[in-house]
A = this chain, B = another copy of it.
Amino acid sequence: MSIRIGIFGYGNLGRGVENAIRQNPDMTLRAVFTRRDPSTLRIQTPTAEVCHVDQAPAMTDEIDVMILCGGSATDLPMQTPAMASLFNVVDSFDTHAKIPQHFANVDAAAKAAGKIAMISVGWDPGMFSLNRMYAGAILPDGKDYTFWGRGVSQGHSDAIRRIDGVLDAKQYTVPVPEALEAVRNGENPTLTTREKHTRECYVVAKEGADLARIENEIKTMPNYFADYDTTVHFVTKEELDRDHAGIPHGGTVIRCGKTGVGLQNSHIVEYRLKLDSNPEFTSSVLVAYARAAYRMHTEGQSGCKTVLDVPPAFLSPKSGEELRKELL
């Protein structure tokens, strides 16, 4: 029997989930839920319905797992607890500092409803968290490093777009190669913010705008750019659309740990992602964890879970026997 999936919100992430479902034969897209007028939305899956979000509560018998594809700032803090009282859910809540509060809210709702709610699924939080956990548990005497990029930061691109005189912009976060190399060599360096990443900006300015002022406003912007070495390239709208249309991202989690009688032996554990499409990879992780949410619910579990709580085999459509034979 196929696992029936609902997609709640149809932006980049929702479209990515729709694609990922087609790559997983044990799953079916049942419906996409939108806040817009459903008749205006065109989706890729002819067998799925487009519904208004208000129809969701009437469809609890038709959907096994609802994948929440809204944003972390305002959508998910409301939507995840609300939906977890109706469905098994998976979200990609990624405001690290607010995870404990989000967990508590969602846990209460999911437990009361006897549902599984899997939060903060994706790559950071998500796969990166898992790798920090595994490496830290194996090598307790050690140090963790996380580098992001080369990839597009939506938040930083938006910050540039808000500057007066800017038409459009794209910002890449780039790890400093020398810092990465020092960590990989086991040197355990202490790195400042500036030493870890640089920021590359591609900016389309309005005709006649003061480019020097824009560049200065970017480079001195607190929190976003002031603590980094930032490069600003002014490009035409055509160049931006041609050369910077994608949403690539990625990064690296590295732990260097010591073992032995005198802690004389070093071990480097590195997990690296190089992603052509940040939202499509995140969507693929969400879909794998939707399978796990379904299995955990079938086993009688309930409450809020994160990637740290899920037995890895639950992510795969293969049986334990197949997994042991083919890839252990």
Give the B-binding residues of A (Cβ under 8 A): 16, 19-20, 23-24, 44, 96, 99-100, 103, 120, 125, 127, 129-134, 136-141, 144, 184, 186, 257, 259-261, 264-277, 280-281, 283-285, 288, 291, 306-313, 315-317, 320-321, 323-325, 327-328
Contact for A261 among B44, B129, B310, CB less than 8 A: B44
Contacts of A272 in B (CB 8 A): 268-272
Return the chain B residue nearest A125 by Cβ: B328
**Complex copy number for this chain:** 2
Contact for A268 among B44, B131, B273, CB less than 8 A: B273
* B313 & A311 in contact (Cβ 8 Å cutoff): no
Contacts of A288 in B (CB 8 A): 137-138
* B16 & A313 in contact (Cβ 8 Å cutoff): no
A22: shortest Cβ distance to chain B, in Å? 9
Report the separation of the CA atoms of residues A296 and B317 in the bound assembly, to the nearest whole angstrom: 23
Known pairs A127-B134, A134-B130, A136-B316; A308 contacts B280 (CB<8 A): no
* A23 & B265 in contact (Cβ 8 Å cutoff): no
Contacts of A268 in B (CB 8 A): 272-275
Report the separation of the CA atoms of residues A272 and B310 in the bound assembly, to the nearest whole angstrom: 23
Contact for A139 among B44, B103, B284, CB less than 8 A: B284
Report the separation of the CA atoms of residues A216 and B153 in the bound assembly, to the nearest whole angstrom: 57
Contacts of A125 in B (CB 8 A): 328
Contact for A309 among B306, B311, B321, CB less than 8 A: B311
Contacts of A259 in B (CB 8 A): 16, 19-20, 23, 277, 280-281, 283-284
Contacts of A257 in B (CB 8 A): 284
* B99 & A325 in contact (Cβ 8 Å cutoff): yes
Sampled A-B contacts (25; CB under 8 Å): A23-B141, A99-B328, A100-B324, A100-B325, A103-B324, A130-B134, A133-B315, A133-B316, A136-B327, A144-B327, A257-B284, A259-B277, A265-B275, A265-B276, A267-B273, A267-B276, A269-B272, A270-B273, A270-B274, A308-B312, A308-B320, A308-B324, A308-B328, A309-B313, A309-B320
Contacts of A16 in B (CB 8 A): 259
Known pairs A267-B274, A275-B267, A308-B312; A261 contacts B138 (CB<8 A): no
